[in-house]
Amino acid sequence: MRSRFVRLIFGIAAIFTLSPRPSVGQIEATTAYEPMYTTDGHPDLQGVWQVLNTAVWDLEDHGASLGVPAGYGVVEGGAIPYQPWALERKEENFENRAALDPENKCYLPGVPRITYMPHPFRIIQQADKVSIAYEYLRAVRYIYMNGNPHPPGPIEWWMGDSRARWEGHSLVVDVVHFNDQTWFDRTGNFHSSALHVVERYTLTGPDHMLYEATIEDPEVFTRPWKISMPLYRRQETNSELLEYQCHAYLLEQEWDNPDSSFFQQN
């Protein structure tokens, strides 16, 4: 009887120590929420969504500085698992971020960064594809679900090639064919053209979605790693994607600047 009691204590202790606990800033995936369905019989993810965090500044825990808010990281496990050479390169990126961050040239931000830019986006579902229309740069991703596999590579695109399938209530998006030009955030977290991202979009309530992205890049990281964050449905009755044509404003600003470094060919 005593050993049974001991086993019970150990069992309870095991449950407490071994079950995954969400870090602050993340929420749990739950299949308890039964979403509305489209006429195609899939969860209806449609509407205007936006993140409410500081991931765009820094995917890891970070403090505040002038113009930069503090925030908890969105990386599961805490740190991005760089290879040693890549960690040095990340630090160089950080030191030179004003010159090197592709966002400062208004280039397409890549995936997953486009998701957590501080602008809303709209999800549109059809039989052959899911389209995500972003206010930022008026970018649009066509995520095909028409049975076509990724076209054969090598192909290098800023936003990669996206193909999706449904897994239970989750839209699972597989993205490959990236170039090496984008960063994950404003501190210089970067990748190579071997990047492979798997996103998951899962409704957790009528106005909340869980967004997860697994990042795999054997040339830069020691193992795959994952970020997750809530998406919030914009509540305003007149919610609308307006416009942010960053590159147009930048060209106009730099055009008359004789000291501009923007027009130097690299």
Partner 1 sequence: MFLQPWLREIRNMKKQTLELLGIFGLLLVAVPVAAHHSFAAEFDINQPIELRGKLTSVEFVNPHGWLYIDVENEDGTVTNWAIEAGGANQLLRRGLRETDFPPGLEVIVNGFLARSGEPVANGREVRTVDGRNFFLGTE
Partner 2 sequence: MCQLNCRVGAVALTVMIWVLVLGPRAAVGQAFWEDAEKLPMAPTWLVEKAKLPPYSPPMTPEGVPDLQGVWGGPGGDGLSYLEDHDFVDVTTPAQETFVSDPPDGKVPYTPWALARRNEILAGLGRGWAGESPERLYSSPAAYCLSFMPRFAFSELEIVQQSGFVIMLGEEGYRVIPTDGRSPISEDVKFWYGNSRGRWEGDSLVVEVSSLNGLGWLDSTGIYFTENTRMTERWRLVDPDTIDYEITIEDDTVYTSPWKMNFARRRPGTGPDTRRTRMPSAVALDAPSLDDPYAEEIWEDACYEGNREGPAALRAFGYDWFRGVTPPE
The residues that touch partner 2, with contacts defined as CB under 8 A, are 46, 106-108, 122, 124, 126, 128, 131, 133, 138, 140, 142, 144, 146, 148, 151, 157-159, 161, 181, 238, 240-243, 245, 247-248, 251-252, 255-256, 263-266
154 binds, among partner 1, partner 2, none (CB under 5 to 8 A by kind): partner 1
Quick check: 49 and 130 in contact, CB under 8 A? Answer: no
Min CB(220)–partner 2 separation in Å: 21
| Residue with Cβ nearer partner 2 (85 or 262) | 262
DSSP E strand boundaries for 5-89: 47-50
Closer by beta carbon to partner 2, 225 or else 244: 244
Cα 63 from Cα 181, distance rounded (Å): 26
Q: Quote the least distance from Cβ 85 to partner 1, whole Å.
A: 25
Residue 68 touches partner 1, criterion: CB under 8 A: no
Among partner 2, partner 1, none, what binds residue 214 when CB lies within 5 to 8 Å by partner kind? none
Q: Minimal distance in Å, beta carbon 177 to partner 1?
A: 10
Q: How far is the CB of 124 from partner 2 (least distance, A)?
A: 6
Write out the two tokens for 169. Answer: 């209530």
- Contacts of 52 by beta carbon, 8 Å cutoff, 6+ apart: 230, 232
Structure tokens at 255: 């055009």
Closest separation in Å from C-beta 153 to partner 1: 7
> Looking at the chain, which runs of residues are DSSP E strands?
47-50, 121-125, 129-134, 140-144, 161-167, 170-176, 196-205, 208-216, 225-233
Nearest Cα to Cα of residue 36 among 121, 125, 119: 125
Q: SS3 of 119, please?
A: coil
Footprint (CB under 8 A) of partner 1, residues 122-161: 151-156
Contacts with partner 1 by CB under 8 A lie at: 151-156
